[in-house]
Amino acid sequence: MRGGLLVSLPIQKSNSQDSPVRYDPFVAFDALDDEQIIAELKGQVLAELVYSFPGPDGKPVEGLSKAGIDACTRELAKQNEVLRELELTWEETTTEFRAKCKVGRYLVQFNVDKFQTVEVLLDTAFGVKRQPRNIVTKDGKLLNNAFAFEQACMKAARNGKSRLIPEDLKRLVIAEARKKPGTVKEVTKTEAAERGKVNSQELIASPGGETREWGKWWKAVTEAAGVKSGVTKVTDVEARAFVENVVQRKVESATTLTNVEYLAVYDAALEMIGPRGG
């Protein structure tokens, strides 16, 4: 159990096996990026900037893929703000790779008179990622993940960059992607549930013996994010921003929230939306 807690996710029905499936939208996004990273390593062009699929509560969930984060990075560069990977450290255990990447945001301008580039470091952020060395197939077989190290490092860089990209720019890239064919990956409910499965050991009750109502929690978070952002269609960007603003850190998966953080996010959501969120 990571972070000392867990959220109890709602039971979903898989169309293929008609068996209970528990899943976390954040985990589903991360699993989809695994394939993008492998494709990038093989030299393929990544066109899908946004993932879109039904969330556990039925509402659509949208968010940027790794390619989407890279697109935001290029857009920042056009505004003379450059994101650079400054430092990468990693370690390995018998079960996983752990990577940490330091990313810097620079203001870059060209001095015509002196014919030189002037750079100013504006901000830095760390991105971290744990990547299992093995993957479990649909039929339950345990296979070695040949790309686990690369995925850990590239996702750590992705997470660091994501922390430095303004939320309004993320929303703009999502909005522009909707206008272009082939840039939004529409994921079915069945695939989303399969991609976002959470290990059974992560679904146990919290130390206090109290299970978490994920559906109720996620509904409150998305409604509160909509109120805070002033939007009617809440994307993964707004939901993540709301959670991270409350806990003051990057949240890769809701399952990594501690008990205190989980309750703090829920209380903040209820305060934002009022009695109708309970």
140-178 burial, b at 16+ Cβ within 10 Å, e below that, comes to eeeeebebbebbbbbbbbbbbbbbbbeeebbbebbeebe
pLDDT of residue 176: 93
Residue 88 CB: number of other CB atoms within 10 A?
Answer: 16
Mind listing the pLDDT tens digit for each residue in 70-108?
Answer: 999 999 999 999 999 999 999 998 888 999 999 999 999
Q: For 184-198, what is each residue's pLDDT tens digit?
A: 999 887 887 777 765
Judged by DSSP in three states, 103 sits in strand
Helices and strands in the chain, H and E counts: 8, 10
pLDDT at residue 207 in the model: 30
Q: Are 92 and 98 in contact (CB under 8 A)?
A: yes
Residue ranges in 4-94 assigned as alpha helix (H): 25-41, 66-78
Tokens of 80: 């003379």
Q: What is the pLDDT along the chain (278 residues), one digit of tens a residue?
A: 333 333 333 333 333 343 344 567 677 888 889 999 999 999 998 899 999 887 666 777 888 999 999 999 999 999 999 999 999 999 998 888 999 999 999 999 887 787 888 899 999 999 999 898 888 766 667 788 899 999 999 999 999 999 999 999 999 999 999 999 999 999 887 887 777 765 433 332 223 333 456 667 878 888 898 888 887 777 777 888 888 888 887 776 676 777 778 888 888 999 888 765 44
User: Does residue 3 contact residue 258 with C-beta atoms inside 8 Å?
Assistant: yes
Four-residue CA torsion sign, 87, 80, 155, 149? negative
Structure tokens at 141: 């077989």
